[in-house]
Amino acid sequence: MRASVSTIAAIATPPGGGRRAVIRLSGPRALELGRETCRFAAENALSRRGAWRGRFHDGVGEQPVLALAMPGPRSFTGEDVLELHLVGSPPLVAAALARLVALGAELARPGEFTRRAFESGRIDLSRAEGVLALVEAESDSERRAAAELCFGGLGKRLEALRESLLDLRVLCEASLDFDEADTGHVPLEELVERGERVRAALEEALGWERRRTRRGGAPRIVLAGAPNAGKSTLFNALTGSRAIVSDVAGTTRDALVAPWVVAGVPCELVDTAGLSADFASGPDGHAQRFAKAEHEAADLVLRVCDAREAPPEHLPPRELLVRARCDLAQGPVGGPGVAVSAVTGSGLAELERAVAQALWLQPASGVARELGERHVAALEHARERLDEALALARARGPLDLVAEALRAALERLDEIEGHASPEDLLDRIFARFCIGK
């Protein structure tokens, strides 16, 4: 990490006039520069964390200021930070910034505030990228996806995942110093068992990041449920299709796909065969295996059940409960899920809103797509190295090769958080920020 010795300053609000403009400073002289340029009524102004009203002297005249002092290390950058809230007149703000530079502050480069936060350990690289994605977000869904990064959605998953992978590597390397008869030796079977749990957590993190920033293509929504639950009738009502509907169980065998526009976003709705233990072999068995594959690949699964039957107690992640045929129920349909009737149209609008909320419907583009692809690629590479380690362990291969594969998997995870990212990659990432962030 680079040591930050200068004090930087930049305008942190959008260009143009407004009721308020903010100049942000960070570095060892941030609070000192505030005392040199501002006159406060309180004698102990800027001596501790707080907000102070006064007058800013720009070398020509004075203007009102609200100064927010945030001494390090409990600040965004980990350094002393000062925010000067001024009247949003561009000439006055420019004069104030020029005065600070004349007294020794340096103009901040794009992304330098966030980079200093990263280099001081206040945030990891995925959170820093979340700041960038949040600044450049153009829709509510993009803002929500960026906020997930800012608040550590990926970082929290990676932290636990990295600890588990590191423990696995330590066990493996410790076993190198012991024979199988020694008490310090860890059996390969235990290493494999732990490794499979780590792989499941890695797969979960990978799926979360793929859903957070979709890599392209329409979201795929799959209807699932028991035979005769009302899936095909609902499929026809939502898409305007004419899938065959019958009271005979097992009518749907092939996956039927049709476009469905949800909250203005084109999606793909997939109707699949009903799942039942009675159809375990023959063509029906093949249809169910195809259906399960569609469920696993879906962005969202709509679990359809008859509103007259008891709903399932628990649903896996990425599933939304739909209570179909509510027009046939005796009275209102209570309990969990969205109650719908494909015949009367009741509940279809509520279902669309629930699907939009569950998916966030964010066709990733620009920065969001670029960052998402970087994270997914690193997670996929980590999974490949972990699979390599597990294959060697199952084949009772040399433990030093298993340990080396685990080390490589850890390096791939560290790339996401910035622990092992090369300087030129960091330069490219932070250069995308605007000045003042």
Residue type, 434: C
Q: Residues 137, 139, 143, 144: is their CA dihedral positive or negative?
A: negative
Q: What contacts 38, CB < 8 A, 6 or more positions away?
A: 45, 46, 52, 54, 55, 56, 57, 65, 67, 84
297 to 142, 151, 292, 375: CA distances (angstroms): 22, 27, 9, 19
pTM, 2 dp: 0.46
Element (H, E) at 79: none
Distance CA 368, CA 143 (A): 10
Which pLDDT score is estimated for 303?
94
In the chain, where the domains are located: 8-120, 131-213+365-417, 220-359
Do the first three CATH levels of 8-120 and 131-213+365-417 match, i.e. the same topology? no
Asked if CATH classification 3.40.50.300 holds for the domain at 131-213+365-417, the reply, yes or no, is no
pLDDT 10s digits, 129-167: 666 666 655 555 556 656 665 665 566 777 788 888 888
> Across the chain, what does the average pLDDT equal?
79
Task: Give phi and psi for 314, each to the nearest 5.
Answer: -135, 145
Place of tokens 């000045």: 435
Enter the tokens of residue 284. Answer: 């029906």
Question: DSSP string covering 246-294, please?
Answer: -SSTT---SPEEEEEEETTEEEEEEE-PPP-TT--SHHHHHHHHHHHHH
Distance CA 247, CA 235 (A): 15
338 to 36, 239, 309: CA distances (angstroms): 62, 18, 14
Sheet holding 8-11, edge to edge: 38-40, 50-57, 62-70, 81-88, 18-26, 8-11, 106-107
pLDDT 10s digits, 11-42: 989 888 888 999 999 999 999 999 999 999 88
pLDDT 10s digits, 233-252: 999 999 987 754 544 444 44
Give SS3 for 424.
helix
**Cβ contact 22:11 at 8 Å:** yes
**Cβ contact 7:26 at 8 Å:** yes
pLDDT band for 403, please (50, 70, 90 cuts): confident
Enter the tokens of residue 309. Answer: 């039957």
129 to 89, 118, 122, 329: CA distances (angstroms): 31, 10, 13, 49
pLDDT 10s digits, 258-283: 999 887 778 889 998 877 555 555 55
Q: Using DSSP bridges, classify how beta strands 18-26 and 81-88 pair: parallel, antiparallel or unpaired.
A: antiparallel
Q: What contacts 270, CB < 8 A, 6 or more positions away?
A: 220, 221, 222, 223, 255, 256, 257, 294, 298
**Cβ contact 230:325 at 8 Å:** yes
pLDDT above 90 as % of the chain: 30
pLDDT 10s digits, 356-370: 888 765 444 455 556
Task: Give phi and psi for 198, each to the nearest 5.
Answer: -65, -40
pLDDT band for 103, please (50, 70, 90 cuts): very high
**Residue 384 reports pLDDT greater than 50:** yes
Q: 55-70 b/e with 16+ CB inside 10 Å = b? A: ebbbeeeebebebbbb
Bridge partners of 223?
A: 271, 302
Which pLDDT score is estimated for 418?
62
Distance CA 24, CA 83 (A): 5
Asked if CATH classification 3.40.50.2300 holds for the domain at 220-359, the reply, yes or no, is no
Domain 8-120 is of which CATH architecture? 2-Layer Sandwich (3.30)
Which pLDDT score is estimated for 50?
92
pLDDT 10s digits, 318-377: 899 999 999 998 888 878 899 999 999 999 999 999 998 887 654 444 555 566 677 778
DSSP label of 328: G
